[in-house]
Structure 1
Amino acid sequence: MDASAPPPIGPGLNAARKARKLTLEQLAQMSGVSRSMLSQIERGEANPTFAVLWNLTQALGIEFSELIAGSAVLHKPAISVMSTEQTPEIVSGNGACRLRILSPMQTAGETEWYALEIAAGEALTSAAHQAGAVEHFTALSGEFTVRSGAQERAIAAGETARYPADVDHAIANVSGEVGHGILVLLYR
């Protein structure tokens, strides 16, 4: 093997996928990498970009080094920890609302959960999600009003509001301090 050639990733990817009893289609859905690209990588016909490798390792729950070394099948820790730096975050345009994405990417579009922070007097306003979607918001600190369609309810720290999210909806922090909560979105 040429020392300047990239390491063969295909066999490790194939072994990791099969060890988890995943089809190409399932891994494609979990990773966001097309089925045809996955097949090409496994056959050694494509050299994936860093972004593609990242998506694959995250979907499979393995490290880059495991994929490259071909040891991805042998070791998968029972406890996976995601550092603060690795946790994706969505910040509103004005910086008043922060959503830290706590759910794994493979559950996106089914079940999603977020750590939510809203500045005093600000609101997270959302357009309708797909039909049947429901949100569960648990206030950890602060005071909020939750609106779903035309209905609105006040909730305090420790309380949970459950409401349809397939209509316009909002969570407003009505306290004088930064408010925190956990937001869970369920698609049906």
Structure 2
Amino acid sequence: MLSQIERGEANPTFVVVWSLTQALEIDFSELIGGSSAATGANDIEVISAEHTPEIRSADGLCRLKILSSPRLAGQSEWYSVEIEQGGKLASEPHAPGTSEYFTAITDGLGVESGESRVCLKAGETARYPADVNHHISNIGNRAARGFLVVLYR
């Protein structure tokens, strides 16, 4: 996986990146060069926009901002997703029992899981198995956005 990432042939999932940081015994924020700050007695953690981790597809048409805490990697993850016109966020099967929940913020998004396909309108949510091949694609004529939650069992 590391050599594929280095050659630009693979985009690691959040779980893969988290596992690498644990194996290398480094803090996730060190890997991305970010920092967080507690803002008072309530210990509210704030991650600035420029330090929010981001993953891009190899073709540059898909961008995911990692919104979930690194402590939840492998349990639940959530992302802000932007897909340019004609882009496709394709995923191989995750661990057995994994499911995804994708909410379209804009029109023009399609979801495929196994043999099932749906087109989403803004505000609609697709819930589907992610332990099979699946993808989210922009079938519209402009950039599209949504939120993705991945739940592992």
TM-score bracket, normalised by the shorter chain, equals 0.7 to 0.9
Q: C-alpha separation between the residues in 1 aligned to 2:81 and 2:28? A: 29
Q: C-alpha separation between the residues in 2 aligned to 1:62 and 1:120? A: 36
**Pair 1:131-2:69 in alignment:** no
2:22 corresponding residue in structure 1: 32
Pick the structure with greater CA Rg.
Answer: 1
2:110 is aligned with what amino acid? T
- Deviation, structure 1 residue 119: 0.4
- Deviation, structure 1 residue 54: 4.8
- Deviation, structure 1 residue 144: 1.3
Contact 2:28 2:70 in 1 (8 A): no
1:172 is aligned with what amino acid? S
2:129 is aligned with what amino acid? P
**Pair 1:146-2:111 in alignment:** yes
- Deviation, structure 1 residue 84: 1.1
1:32 counterpart SS class: helix
Contact 1:142 1:177 in 2 (8 A): no
Quote the RMSD (CA, aligned, Å): 2.4
Moved over 3 A (4+): 51-55
2:114 is aligned with what amino acid? G
Identity of aligned residues (%): 43
Q: C-alpha separation between the residues in 1 aligned to 2:124 and 2:61? A: 22
- Deviation, structure 1 residue 78: 2.8
1:171 corresponding residue in structure 2: 136
Q: C-alpha separation between the residues in 1 aligned to 2:142 and 2:37? A: 40
2:83 corresponding residue in structure 1: 118
Distance 1:168 1:33, change over 3 A: closer
Between Structure 1 and Structure 2, the one with more strand by share is 2
Contact 1:89 1:100 in 2 (8 A): yes
Q: C-alpha separation between the residues in 2 aligned to 1:181 and 1:130? A: 23
Query: How many residue pairs end up in the alignment?
Result: 128
2:145 is aligned with what amino acid? H
Q: C-alpha separation between the residues in 1 aligned to 2:98 and 2:78? A: 13
Gaps of 5+ in 2: 1-18, 31-35
Deviations 1:114-163 (A, max 9, x none): 00000012111100000000000000012211100011111111000000
Gaps of 5+ in 1: 1-28, 38-50, 56-60, 64-74
Q: C-alpha separation between the residues in 1 aligned to 2:23 and 2:94? A: 24
Distance 1:149 1:158, change over 3 A: same
Q: C-alpha separation between the residues in 1 aligned to 2:75 and 2:119? A: 27
TM-score, scaled relative to structure 1? 0.62
Distance 1:149 1:54, change over 3 A: closer
Contact 1:33 1:52 in 2 (8 A): no
Q: C-alpha separation between the residues in 2 aligned to 1:54 and 1:91? A: 18
TM-score, scaled relative to structure 2? 0.75
Q: C-alpha separation between the residues in 2 aligned to 1:164 and 1:83? A: 32
